[in-house]
Structure 1
């Protein structure tokens, strides 16, 4: 395992790109955790989570203004996803939250995973688009039953999901799309008194990063297969102090000389209710290197955060002490990371190679 000083990549803050718009009722509880993508016009867009009063979330669309290679502001254009379907609306809460968008050239589609906060709490759902503006919902994700695991992962809450940008060879040898996800074994919110009930076959009872695969041929025949995840396997659990409570995937992994680079978040503190806003936690951004041919193998990871909550924007907000990376875009040859700041604003960081490792 590497320290931030010896890991091949580093994050450096570059400013704040989006804050809540005064007087906008859709943003009174924050703008945060954006997805991103290039539109047909070649422009860079953010798809931020917009939080209205009562913690009701929507997904917006905002064009990014760039100066000298750095995103500096946005121009709001639309709301592209609202909690309209039954799986997105609960009795006491509703929302479409924390979108991650991956452009997959093999499909010619932007593929969005998002948290649908419905009647039974947070579940992953999938939608697709060709232009970032109009999205076709494919519904909540279903999970293939695994005899070895002995459980249907669809019974549990799931968040922090994101697709890889290109097909990989799955463990069974088939060309497949790969997706990361994060099941949570806490049943107390939907079955009072049940508590944390992980299956006996799970390597770590804490929320951890898992990987699933979908045969590419099946998706090419029917895009609805993007919401049916197979061959689920444990990828990585909390290992270091900054990940004591849980970890989860960040933006879509990117190809690097070492394999795949995955940014993730680690969480410490106290969580009394995983479905409530969490006030006594600290989120930091770490990273892993996954094997280029077998991405279910972790080759290296950071033992402490590459970016921790240190600035006022990261330490003060709806949920204090949060750095939450969710998108990476290449701007003028440089990788730029967008991240949530204290569940209130959107920050920008530069992802650069550690000089120790050369160009």
Structure 2
């Protein structure tokens, strides 16, 4: 299909009607990002649900002019909540020096945290933007409230920050949570990957880290169940590095980038984008031996 001709990658994942459901990012010749949908009974063999995008940027929405990107999914009650990156440009007269300096040729990119909801992965309702004055991406909600608060981890480059809300509308000022570790595999910048998974030992969060050669890796954090600002463990070594040809060569080389992981039987299935071009999956046993 034309709308996904150039790339399909960075899917969010959920279990719906006993099937692993991928909400994936797709790009066509004009490079605008949209979301497609695919499902699987075994986690490896997927069938596309629709020939058309299930979610697209709004034509008249200034925050989404370049697309909807990198969905992350949680189940909350009877609904699935989806955080995503809304991509656009600052108007030239509003471009800030800080924004200009982050991108090639001074293009004033504007990125916001979008929120959408679905009950059936057929109809999607956009609920607005979170922390809508902040340039942020790599945003994940926790799948349950903690002390009656929604909890959001996002990226304020180059760090991960955390914020709380009673209602998904008003949010606390983001607080520092974790940063790069100089000289290590995540020494340049980091960002949340999958939505957090509750384990008996803490919240398991797979995340990406970029080193000084701009190579993306995947690692894991274990966060305190009652106070997720507290990091109990952090990967000393990456769990996944670009090794395969489809991870090393694509639209952007040397990238493994996850937006979703689920529990399936006795394993974690981690879905990730390879080199901003293809969708991949990695698995690890739920006992997490060797991860921390």
- The answer on whether the counterparts of 1:127 and 1:136 sit within 8 Å (CA) in structure 2 is yes
Query: Which runs of no fewer than 5 residues in structure 1 stay unpaired?
Result: 1-23, 144-153, 170-174, 185-206, 220-225, 271-280
CA offset digits 1:96-126 (Å, max 9, x no partner): 0111111123xx2211111111232211111
Give TM-score scaled by structure 2 length.
Answer: 0.86
Give TM-score scaled by structure 1 length.
Answer: 0.70
1:332: how far off?
2.8
**Residues 1:158 and 2:133 are matched in the alignment:** no
1:42: how far off?
3.1
**Residues 1:236 and 2:208 are matched in the alignment:** no
**Residues 1:177 and 2:150 are matched in the alignment:** yes
CA offset digits 1:4-27 (Å, max 9, x no partner): xxxxxxxxxxxxxxxxxxxx2112
**Residues 1:130 and 2:119 are matched in the alignment:** yes
* Counterparts of 1:341 and 1:76, CA distance in 2: 22
Query: Which runs of no fewer than 5 residues in structure 2 stay unpaired?
Result: 91-109
**Change in 2 beyond 3 A, CA 1:294/1:74:** same
Question: Hey, what does 1:267 align to over in structure 2?
Answer: 210
Counting only pairs closer than 5 Å after superposition, residues 210-289 of structure 1 correspond to structure 2 as 210-215=161-166, 219=167, 226-240=168-182, 241-269=184-212, 281-289=214-222
* Equivalences, count: 268
Counting only pairs closer than 5 Å after superposition, residues 1-359 of structure 1 correspond to structure 2 as 24-39=1-16, 41-66=17-42, 70-77=43-50, 78-84=52-58, 85-90=60-65, 94-105=66-77, 108-120=78-90, 121-142=110-131, 154=133, 156-169=134-147, 175-184=148-157, 207-215=158-166, 219=167, 226-240=168-182, 241-269=184-212, 281-352=214-285, 353-355=287-289
1:256: how far off?
1.6
- The answer on whether the counterparts of 2:18 and 2:41 sit within 8 Å (CA) in structure 1 is no
